């Protein structure tokens, strides 16, 4: 595709006004013009093949409902070329996952953490505020060590949602992503667990479900720049 000169995109008078404003704010002319034309820089650095990625969570990360080879960390490793550590432990709440994180970071020194926590909090009717606090603490710990995080939203489970198959992400995830400025994989588990053909039971995926989740995850990783297209 042929490149279009920036000068041809913006009218001269508008362009000069933007450049003067940028100079007053200490912004380079190229940055001003790129911003004016709607060009976005990549939001994350690509993680090279062979790097260690930590998949942290509960049974959805562990892969309950299917074999270890069809869990999403295993499938992600195949798709990305990364060394993906499956740090999912079935039954754990956000506070239990948070308790394991410091040692995991020290052991593996991951280039990225894929964090999926909260599902057991919702099933046990634990405090949403407490779960949000624990997940925020994990995000902040990773950021303090320079480790980027992709946060994964989990649906708010209820009897009505389970019966109708209409699942929605718990609202804390969008709030956390905005507050902590981390990318969010939204609606993936809601789609998978809302489809009986992709479930092993009401709260776990089957092999087809983990495959679909991985497809959505890979798409988000490419969109955010973590994974090269």
Look at residue 5 in the predicted model and tell me its pLDDT.
Answer: 35
Q: Is the pLDDT of residue 20 over 90?
A: no
| Each residue's pLDDT tens digit, 46-76 | 999 999 999 999 999 999 999 999 999 999 9
Marked catalytic residue, from 43, 94, 201, 229: 201
- Average pLDDT of the residues in 194-211: 95
N- to C-terminal Cα distance for the chain? 18
Look at residue 182 in the predicted model and tell me its pLDDT.
Answer: 98
Q: Is 59 a catalytic residue?
A: yes
Look at residue 43 in the predicted model and tell me its pLDDT.
Answer: 59
Residue matched to tokens 């690509």: 46
Q: Is 201 a catalytic residue?
A: yes
Residue matched to tokens 């999403």: 72
Look at residue 197 in the predicted model and tell me its pLDDT.
Answer: 96
DSSP code of residue 155? B
Look at residue 229 in the predicted model and tell me its pLDDT.
Answer: 83
Marked catalytic residue, from 58, 59, 71, 169: 59
The reported pTM is 0.80
d(CA 213, CA 216): 5
Q: Is the pLDDT of residue 161 over 70?
A: no
Marked catalytic residue, from 29, 109, 204, 229: 204
Long-range contacts (CB closer than 8 Å, 24 or more residues apart) made by 171-177 = 172/118, 172/128, 172/131, 172/132, 172/135, 173/118, 175/132, 176/132, 176/135, 176/136, 176/139, 176/151, 177/151
């Amino acid at each position: 595709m042929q490149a279009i000169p920036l000068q041809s995109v913006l009218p001269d008078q508008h362009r000069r006004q933007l450049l003067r404003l940028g100079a007053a704010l200490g912004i380079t002319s190229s940055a001003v013009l790129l911003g004016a034309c709607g060009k976005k820089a990549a939001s994350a650095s690509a993680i090279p093949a062979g790097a260690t990625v930590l998949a942290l969570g509960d049974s959805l990360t562990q892969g309950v409902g299917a074999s270890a080879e069809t869990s999403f960390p295993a499938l992600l490793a195949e798709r990305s070329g990364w060394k993906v550590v499956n740090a999912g432990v079935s039954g754990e709440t956000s506070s239990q996952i948070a308790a394991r994180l410091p040692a995991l970071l020290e052991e593996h020194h991951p280039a990225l953490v894929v964090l999926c926590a909260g599902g057991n909090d919702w099933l046990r009717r634990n405090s949403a505020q407490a779960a949000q606090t624990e997940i925020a603490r994990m995000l902040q710990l990773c950021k303090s060590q320079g480790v980027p995080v992709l946060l994964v939203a989990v649906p708010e489970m209820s009897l009505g949602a389970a019966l109708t198959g209409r699942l929605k992400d718990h609202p804390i995830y969008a709030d956390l992503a905005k507050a902590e400025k981390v990318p969010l994989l939204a609606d993936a588990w809601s789609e998978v667990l809302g489809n009986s053909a992709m479930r092993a039971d009401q709260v776990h995926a089957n092999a087809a479900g983990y495959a679909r989740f991985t497809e959505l995850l890979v798409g988000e990783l490419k969109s955010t720049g973590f994974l090269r297209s």
